[in-house]
């Protein structure tokens, strides 16, 4: 039985950082040696909680069903909190659980301050926060400001031209063609395919929706909208949540001149109804967004100033560093999706090093990096890179400098399910039609969490969960991997999660060692706090290399973690001059 930890999270106070570029330049507290390909943070700092933990994304529908209806819920998450203690996870990010018609599985919110009955109640969320905090686990929730459900009371009042709510959304008059038919004001496309404009008879106008027709976009040029969303944020902070992940922030503003058509992308692989057929200068990443983010941070600071505990705001934005890093100046941390977007199965050591440097070398002074390999919208690691690379990518994620986020089930090496068009649930896939649905559907990466070898892998007692459990659940599940005699992906992940507690991985430097088309390796730490060599093979050939070179500067070390079970020889001191790594394997050696 797992021991229950009852220590509450300690109050923490964020500290600053400083940056060293070949010369020592001090700017508020952390050292980052970019000019020497070394990235370093001061070990003397007291870091806020979100810089020291792994963030684990829970997709509530798919995590654990407590009532047998085939859909995961809040009580199900509560029942599994000790699993996170076992894994040494100290922060959970929950995808939406708000009241919703579920047109987009909770991202179409009809009440931002209530819980949908399929997930439970407000009291269940209160219990989750209390029990998580009792175990030293923080709670981060999805904050969805860009749009609401068309069933939200704000939209219903906007339809009626209510004095307060008539301009809560983006409305536009039609263009009457020579043939007398109605035409939207411009060519803007929905992310989910087709026109981003829908005609409404009540108002005799079109309304804009960046996503589904049932997800009208809010008008953030209306100060009442800004104030109401700040009220939503206060509501959840008062209930004890520790942070927010801001959804779809790039789409928050649109230009005021609705006659402007967006230009074609000239990407030949997309059809004219698909979102990427166009570029989006008028509907993405407008500068007004930064001021709204600052206002949200002001709300979080109100709570932080009361108790001295950091509140965390991380944002979803698929942008290049020059654009996304501006958010640091406004109190938010942008998710860095470069490992998702820029790394393929053919990307070896050199390629991954370049992707990491894209993040590290572009960080502004005082900024703290983030890394993520997948989420509810993207392919699982096993799908993108192959099953044999799951362990080495987890090793990469958990040993880098910065805050890592893990999507549920990646610690097991869960695989994606196959879903026919007829059984597809995801509206993004359905909107593309039978010919293209498989390319766009997000159902495959959202299958139920695999807990045991029993029926439905212990996820639910329902014979028909909302998505099917993967067929390999009898051998790939928490119970089997936890009790495995040989090193399982889960056991390896746990070892890495506890190793991250060492100061060398919390605040130590990162210096590259051997980097080639197969191998990526680096040293974490310093002489004062201890140094660790991390070496990983992301290529497709075995590589034998000498790791005793600079900056290792020693010929021997002690193996502490490998992607396979340690034998008796590896537990002893071993030579660093000729380490051989198979494709998909990795090793960590204490120097």
Active site residues: 247, 316
Closest CA to 61 of 472, 466, 470, 471: 466
Torsion angle (degrees, nearest 10) of CA 353, 355, 361, 366: -110
Closest CA to 587 of 522, 541, 540, 528: 522
What contacts 24+ positions apart, CB below 8 Å, involve 272-281?
273/189, 273/193, 273/194, 274/189, 274/193, 274/432, 275/189, 275/190, 275/191, 275/192, 275/193, 277/189, 278/187, 278/188, 278/189
Question: What does the block give as tokens for 319?
Answer: 């942008």
Question: What does the block give as tokens for 438?
Answer: 């498989």
Closest CA to 437 of 274, 254, 210, 249: 274
State how far the Cα of 368 lies from the Cα of 334, in Å rounded to an integer: 10
Look at the block and give the residue holding tokens 């506890």: 498
Is the Cβ–Cβ distance between 132 and 138 less than 8 Å? yes
> Around Cβ 585, how many Cβ atoms within 10 Å?
21
Is residue 551 reached through a cis peptide bond, with omega within 30 degrees of 0 on the bond before it? Answer: yes
Is the Cβ–Cβ distance between 312 and 140 less than 8 Å? yes
State how far the Cα of 396 lies from the Cα of 489, in Å rounded to an integer: 14
CA angle 55, 61, 62 (to 5 degrees): 70
Torsion angle (degrees, nearest 10) of CA 257, 261, 267, 269: 110
State how far the Cα of 430 lies from the Cα of 447, in Å rounded to an integer: 17
State how far the Cα of 374 lies from the Cα of 170, in Å rounded to an integer: 32
CA separation, residue 170 to residues 187, 219, 518, 570, 585 (Å) = 15, 6, 50, 63, 52
Closest CA to 384 of 355, 411, 345: 345
């Amino acid at each position: 039985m797992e021991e229950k930890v009852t220590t509450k999270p300690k109050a923490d106070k964020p500290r600053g950082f400083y940056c060293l570029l070949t010369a020592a330049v001090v700017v508020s507290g952390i050292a980052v040696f970019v000019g020497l390909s070394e990235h370093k943070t001061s070990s003397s700092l007291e870091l806020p909680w979100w810089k020291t933990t792994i963030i684990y994304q829970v997709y509530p529908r798919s995590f654990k069903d407590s009532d047998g209806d085939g859909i995961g819920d809040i009580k199900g998450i509560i029942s599994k909190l000790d699993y996170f203690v076992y894994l040494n996870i100290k922060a959970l990010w929950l995808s939406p659980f708000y009241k919703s018609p579920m047109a987009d599985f909770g991202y179409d919110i009809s009440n931002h301050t209530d819980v949908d009955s399929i997930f439970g109640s407000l009291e269940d969320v209160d219990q989750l926060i209390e029990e998580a905090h009792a175990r030293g686990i923080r709670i981060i929730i999805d904050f969805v400001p860009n749009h609401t459900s068309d069933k939200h009371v704000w939209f219903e009042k906007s339809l009626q031209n209510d004095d307060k709510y008539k301009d809560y959304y983006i409305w536009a008059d039609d263009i009457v063609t020579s043939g007398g038919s109605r035409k939207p004001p411009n060519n803007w496309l929905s992310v989910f395919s087709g026109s981003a404009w829908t005609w409404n008879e009540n108002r005799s106008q079109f309304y804009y929706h960046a996503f589904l027709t049932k997800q009208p976009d809010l008008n953030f040029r209306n100060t009442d909208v800004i104030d109401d969303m700040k009220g939503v944020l206060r509501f959840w902070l008062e209930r004890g949540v520790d942070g927010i992940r801001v959804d779809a922030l790039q789409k928050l503003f649109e230009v005021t001149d609705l006659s402007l058509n967006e230009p074609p992308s000239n990407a030949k692989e997309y059809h004219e109804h698909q979102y990427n057929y166009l570029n989006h200068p008028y509907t993405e990443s407008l500068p007004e967004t930064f001021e709204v983010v600052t206002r949200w941070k002001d709300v979080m600071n109100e709570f932080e100033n009361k108790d001295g505990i950091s509140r965390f705001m991380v944002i979803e934005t698929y942008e290049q560093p020059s654009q996304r890093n501006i958010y640091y100046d406004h109190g938010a941390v942008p998710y860095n999706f470069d490992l998702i977007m820029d790394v393929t199965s053919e990307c070896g050591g050199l390629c991954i090093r370049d992707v990491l440097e894209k993040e590290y070398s572009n960080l502004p002074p005082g900024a703290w990096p983030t890394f993520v390999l997948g989420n509810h919208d993207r392919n699982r690691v096993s799908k993108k890179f192959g099953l044999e690379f799951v362990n080495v990518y987890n090793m990469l994620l958990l040993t880098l400098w910065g805050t890592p986020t893990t999507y549920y089930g990646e610690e097991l090496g869960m695989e994606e399910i196959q879903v026919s068009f007829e059984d597809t649930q995801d509206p993004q896939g359905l909107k593309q039609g039978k010919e293209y649905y498989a390319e766009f559907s997000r159902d495959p990466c959202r299958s139920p969490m695999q807990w045991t070898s029993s029926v439905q892998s212990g996820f639910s007692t329902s014979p028909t969960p909302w998505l099917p459990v993967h067929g390999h659940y009898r051998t790939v599940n928490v119970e089997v991997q936890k009790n495995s005699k040989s090193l399982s992906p889960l056991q390896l992940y746990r070892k890495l999660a506890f190793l991250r507690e060492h100061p060398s991985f919390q605040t130590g430097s990162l210096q590259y060692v051997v980097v080639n088309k197969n191998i990526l390796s680096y040293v974490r730490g310093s002489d004062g706090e201890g140094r660790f060599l991390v070496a990983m093979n992301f290529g497709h050939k075995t590589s034998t290399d000498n790791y005793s070179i600079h900056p290792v500067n020693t010929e021997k070390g002690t193996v502490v973690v490998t992607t396979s079970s340690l034998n008796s020889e590896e537990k002893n001191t071993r030579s660093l001059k000729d380490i051989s790594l198979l494709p998909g394997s990795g090793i960590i050696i204490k120097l």
